[in-house]
Structure 1
Amino acid sequence: MRDPLILNPADNVAILTEKGTAPAGHKIARAGIAQGQAVVKYGQTIGYATADIAAGDHVHGHNCAFGEHDRDYRPGAGLANAQAALAAHQGTRLVFQGYHRDGGQVGTRNFIALVATVNCSATVIRRAAEELRIEGALDPYPHVDGVVAFAHGTGCGMADSGPGWQALQRVLTGHAGHPNVGAALFVGLGCEVMQIARMKRDLGQAARFHGLTIQENGGTRRTIDAIKDRVRQMLPQVDQARRATAPASTLRIGLQCGGSDGFSGITANPALGVACDMLAAQGASVVLSETPEIFGAERLLLDRVSRPELADQLLARLRWWEDYAARNGASLDNNPSPGNKAGGLTTILEKSLGAVAKAGATPLNAVLEYGEPITAPGLNFMDTPGYDPVSATGQIAGGAQLIVFTTGRGSAFGSKPAPTIKLATNDALYAAMRDDMDLNCGDILSGVSLQDKARQIVALILDVASGQETKSEALGLGDNEFLPWQIGAVV
């Protein structure tokens, strides 16, 4: 049996790499831990002992609980180290083969997007996309990746201004004007709050707009036919796009983790973090999100803000989330999920410390609202919920052309128009879900270095950006994972 992993000399727990006195991925005490004493992993407090724990005992929810975490914030205190980490990865210019769009954007896919402005038009866009598929309308156009319907459950019964309206507007226009979209058609009912005409007026030329409504077209069937006619008109022009060499600096990559386990913060997440540092050194943008899942690890980001105001912005979002959870009878420490716990994660502090590892070590250069355009190179943070479909939808709306998703328990997730690359945190998961996992990071436990795995991840990202199909694309995932964040009252 392999020795348990000790991640930091200051830790009073170690991690089992295979089943022993507890399941693999779980923690055991390195020495006795008295009731009330901090439980330390990654060199950080992850909880407090609720009973005396003997050396070798399993440390988990039965004897360890959430408690106060380090709030000794020192914004920018680690910036010099973060800048050094960025400089350390300067090297050969990396490129991929992408679709060059107006305004300097570069796409990794070439879709036609049908975007519902309201739930009332969800059926017509889905029906039109399905009928076009059945009829083989795309068969003569090999350079078009598909017609994707972005349907959702809101767009009316909401305020016509404020955070909820703004977030939905950013999501809808962000998907229509996405670099992976060659042409887009907005479809509304006609009387909803999220009016196409208002969006055109407010945004001007900021998005590529084509639009129609069910009421103006004479009902459901006529609208489906009108959508299909518009798509047929778009297809020849969209099919003219061809891939050409583009620098890695034009990539915007959303970072996700879901179904995390005790190995997430040891294998896939830190390896992805090193890969992100490599890409940041190229001028690419990497986007960490899921605000409730950085709770307890925010200091690791605050230490490397490139400007003081970014610390204020990040802390403001965390305070909003604490208040939002309290107003709805919840708290940010009610995470991890049952699956996370079964995989060895005990508290949100432990989960957050592992999750932040995928953001690497370079400076934090931007804090973004949900769905806000991603423009800063290097590490960005976007405020989103921890629920993966909602979070990824916001990242894609901001312009992410790829999502990289780490998982330890297994995730059947995909996304459009930006494909998802899934990284397994352990060998057992990779063997069990080979059809879903793009790369195994479990071999880090067997001696593969984080640097070598990071290079594999970067190579995979460039291959997928150049057109290589991901496992989730091969399985047809992504049509039902578009899920905008509904903020505010439904009225």
Structure 2
Amino acid sequence: MVRKIIKVHPQDNVMVALTDLEAGDVLTHDEEQYLLTTTVPAKHKFATVDLPEGSEVTMYGVLVGKTVADVAAGALLTTQNLKHAALDFSTRERRTEWLGPDVSRWENKTFNGYHRSDGRVGTANYWLVVPMVFCENRNLEVLEEALVDNLGYGKSQQYQSQAKQLIDFYKTGKSVEQILQLDIEVENTHQAKHRLFPNVDGVKFLKHTGGCGGTRGDAQALCGLLAGYITHPNVAGATVLSLGCQHAQVTMLQEEIKKRVPHFDKPLYVLEQQVIGAETDMLSEALKCTFAGLMQANQCERAPAPLSKLCIGLECGGSDGFSGISANPAIGYTSDLLVALGGSVILAEFPELCGVEQDLSDRCLEMDDAERFSLLMKTYNSRAMAVGSGFDMNPSPGNIKDGLITDAIKSAGAAKKGGTSPVVAVLDYPEQVERPGLNLLCTPGNDVESTTAEVASGATVVLFTTGLGTPTGNPIAPVVKIASNTKLYHKMRDIIDINTGAITEGEETIQQAGERILDYIIAVASGEEEVAAVRHGQDDFIPWKRGVSL
């Protein structure tokens, strides 16, 4: 029999609908019966007991809201009868004992990666072209046009083919109405091009809007972020373009590189336009340097490495009411497996940890980290409140439509990505991961800003869960897209890599899904599987200015 409802935690006083439910339905869970007094759409919640106005609502075993109107047992919880609420938290005696999962199946497994002189191992091998300031973005575009197709890194031409068809139809005299009604043939005319440098996965151009015009702190943070990409194990080297007069100076970048890798030895070519002079001279030199760098990068080949060399970023975006009970806990189990194997994982998106601070604080191995986490969370939230926002305003319209009606509900489900292992370090943006285990990284909840930051901190693969669908990718790290429900997986198959919908359908356990995801990571890290975001060239890159971004 198909399951229709689920209780996430024994202490919860709400149930989650796994399918659309009608008023009058009588549902059974653990020998308890519930009569619905309203319709309850799939992914939404209903009260299991009468909840008078002011009652605490519990989900995932934690406080997620308080009622602002009477809610009868069997009635739908909505933004009209429930408001965000979360327990306060403090640093106290911590619970750091942990019995990790059985990892005997993977203990002798390896992945084929790119070994760097600092001891880290990449899952890919890219060359970067990096601007120190937005003034250099046009020069990056010129270089991109000159290099990408000629080196064999061009993507599908199917949309150019469709545009040509439209032009041909227009030339035959068709009207606007006729054009709109056309059934255009979708044909992928892309021919796989031979890569000139087979060991190089591509040349990536990190265009951004920063480097000048903001605060000096913005410039420092940007240089730290760029240094994280240049020193990243998925990167062989970089060409850096500087105007010369901007806040983000090359010396600042060099200092940030040295912080991360004191004996940095990758090829790094730095060109300053105000020193070189003519733009044509600058671009000609940049082309030569980049080509020379690619020749050096091509000398590096994949070789076996232990799974302890993996560093995984944990991300969610376009979440739905199933994310916290399928995809997120599945990658949480994957996280625990990797930690038990000696690897590193990064849990970020601090606005989406609201309401679960106490649990994460209690899991910090060191009191200093617990205190730092508390300070970062409280400072971030107070900055948001100072401009009329706050963590309680984090859920997006899409989140709310699909059942995540308070920030605490969203956050409690989002935190499941971090599994159960102890927290070994708390990092502020854009610091680098130095210790194996679970690392907390302060970033916004914005998908691209957070993914950008996780990669800068060292993530060599990112696990990205979604219930609504999002194409988010990254220039240098494969972003594995994981659907929380089967409907989404089939609907947006071209951008989704893995489905965890079988968990809510009762056909797979969280542990089984987590193990399956780890096997997929190993294949991706070895270059045996190409994720959709890489296939589509989804190179999202947005630095975070330390203002308020939820």
> CA, structure 1 residues 376+214, in 2 after alignment: closer, same or farther (shift >3 Å)?
same
- How do residues 433-452 of structure 1 correspond to structure 2 at under 5 angstroms? 433-447=492-506, 448-452=508-512
Show the counterpart of 1:152: 208
TM-score by length of 1: 0.94
Show the counterpart of 1:104: 119
Equivalent-residue separation in structure 1 for 2:89 and 2:431 (angstroms): 29
Show the counterpart of 1:35: 53
**Counterpart contact for 1:76–1:304, Cα < 8 Å:** no
Q: Following TM superposition, by how much is the alpha carbon of 1:233 offset from its aligned partner in structure 2, in angstroms?
A: 1.2
Equivalent-residue separation in structure 2 for 1:201 and 1:17 (angstroms): 52
The SS at the match of 1:134 is coil
Residue 294 of structure 2 corresponds to residue 235 of structure 1 = yes
Equivalent-residue separation in structure 2 for 1:457 and 1:321 (angstroms): 32
Q: Following TM superposition, by how much is the alpha carbon of 1:135 offset from its aligned partner in structure 2, in angstroms?
A: 2.7
Equivalent-residue separation in structure 2 for 1:462 and 1:405 (angstroms): 16
For residues 213-248 of structure 1, give each alpha carbon's deviation from its aligned partner in whole angstroms, at most 9, with x where no partner exists: 222333434323322111111222211211110011
Residue 239 of structure 2 corresponds to residue 180 of structure 1 = no
Show the counterpart of 2:109: 94
TM-score by length of 2: 0.84
**Counterpart contact for 1:90–1:282, Cα < 8 Å:** no
**Counterpart contact for 1:306–1:363, Cα < 8 Å:** yes
Show the counterpart of 1:315: 374
Q: Following TM superposition, by how much is the alpha carbon of 1:198 offset from its aligned partner in structure 2, in angstroms?
A: 4.2
Query: Bigger radius of gyration, 1 or 2?
Result: 2
- How do residues 109-120 of structure 1 correspond to structure 2 at under 5 angstroms? 109-120=124-135
- How do residues 471-490 of structure 1 correspond to structure 2 at under 5 angstroms? 471-478=532-539, 481-487=540-546
> CA, structure 1 residues 155+72, in 2 after alignment: closer, same or farther (shift >3 Å)?
closer
- How do residues 32-181 of structure 1 correspond to structure 2 at under 5 angstroms? 32-67=50-85, 69-73=86-90, 75-80=92-97, 83-84=98-99, 86=100, 88-89=102-103, 92-136=107-151, 139-160=195-216, 162=217, 164-181=218-235
Show the counterpart of 2:514: 454
Percentage identity across aligned positions?
Answer: 37
For residues 271-298 of structure 1, give each alpha carbon's deviation from its aligned partner in whole angstroms, at most 9, with x where no partner exists: 1101100000111110000111101111
Q: 2:389 aligns with which of 330, 334, 338?
A: 330
**Counterpart contact for 1:270–1:357, Cα < 8 Å:** yes
> What code does the residue aligned with 2:538 have?
L
The SS at the match of 2:315 is strand
> CA, structure 1 residues 137+15, in 2 after alignment: closer, same or farther (shift >3 Å)?
closer
Equivalent-residue separation in structure 2 for 1:485 and 1:397 (angstroms): 12
- How do residues 336-347 of structure 1 correspond to structure 2 at under 5 angstroms? 336-347=395-406
Show the counterpart of 2:430: 371
Structure 2: runs of 5 or more not aligned: 22-38, 154-194
Q: Following TM superposition, by how much is the alpha carbon of 1:48 offset from its aligned partner in structure 2, in angstroms?
A: 1.0
Aligned residues: 481
Equivalent-residue separation in structure 2 for 1:412 and 1:203 (angstroms): 30
For residues 124-149 of structure 1, give each alpha carbon's deviation from its aligned partner in whole angstroms, at most 9, with x where no partner exists: 12320222123336632111111100
**Counterpart contact for 2:91–2:371, Cα < 8 Å:** no
Q: Following TM superposition, by how much is the alpha carbon of 1:364 offset from its aligned partner in structure 2, in angstroms?
A: 0.4
> What code does the residue aligned with 1:348 have?
D
> CA, structure 1 residues 145+298, in 2 after alignment: closer, same or farther (shift >3 Å)?
same
Structure 1: runs of 5 or more not aligned: none
**Counterpart contact for 1:275–1:458, Cα < 8 Å:** yes
> CA, structure 1 residues 48+132, in 2 after alignment: closer, same or farther (shift >3 Å)?
same
Q: Following TM superposition, by how much is the alpha carbon of 1:385 offset from its aligned partner in structure 2, in angstroms?
A: 0.9
